Amino acid sequence: MHNSYFLPSIALFLVCSSLATASEMTRLGELELHGFAVPTTELTPEAARSYNVTSEASRGLLTVTLIRKGRNGKAESVPGQVYAGGFTQDNKIFSIPIREIRQPDGVYYLGEYRVNAPDNIRFLVNANVLGKPMKLEFSRAFSAPQTASN
């Protein structure tokens, strides 16, 4: 089950009305590892520009957020080390270069990758959060780009 205690700023730029994200969360004590994957074409032009993301039908964006929940229930993002990769439906493995984004509301991690839709990508995320290793695995189906018919 996915609980949203913290949504990174980039989520505000996504086209929420038509967005079908694949997202997951894993918990280890007071720590949470959140990840979601979207085609870059679902980003608004402002978000793509702001985060230097290439918006193309053949590209996807992985966003990872590391959360620590305090005793008072307050959630805050925390820095860590994040490594990610994926498997295509025909078992081709690839790594996803991750970059850290720091903003006034927290820190999160972005990674761009190639998508040859239609495909179902299985994402593997490993993180070191406050000295504790965490893992997350989830899948996302990517549909073939829609073409306009005349």
* pLDDT digit string, tens, across residues 75-134: 999 999 999 999 999 999 999 999 999 988 899 999 999 999 899 999 999 999 989 999
Half-sphere exposure of 143 (CA within 13 A, CB side): 9
**What are the tokens at 12?**
């505000």
Rg (CA), the chain: 15
* pLDDT digit string, tens, across residues 33-55: 999 999 999 999 998 898 899 89
| Closest C-alpha to 37, from 113, 89, 108 | 113
| Closest C-alpha to 63, from 103, 117, 118 | 103
Query: Would strands 75-77 and 31-39 be described as parallel, antiparallel, or unpaired?
Result: unpaired
- The rounded mean pLDDT for the chain is 83
Residue 114 CB-density burial (10 A; 0-12 exposed, 13-18 middle, 19+ buried): middle
Enclosing domain of residue 78: 9-138
* Domains held by the chain: number: 1
Domain at 126, CATH number: 2.60.40.3340
The β-bridge partners of 129 are: 80, 132
* In a domain? residue 1: no
**Residue 2, pLDDT above cutoff 80:** no
9 phi-psi bin (left φ>0, alpha ψ -120 to 50, beta other): alpha
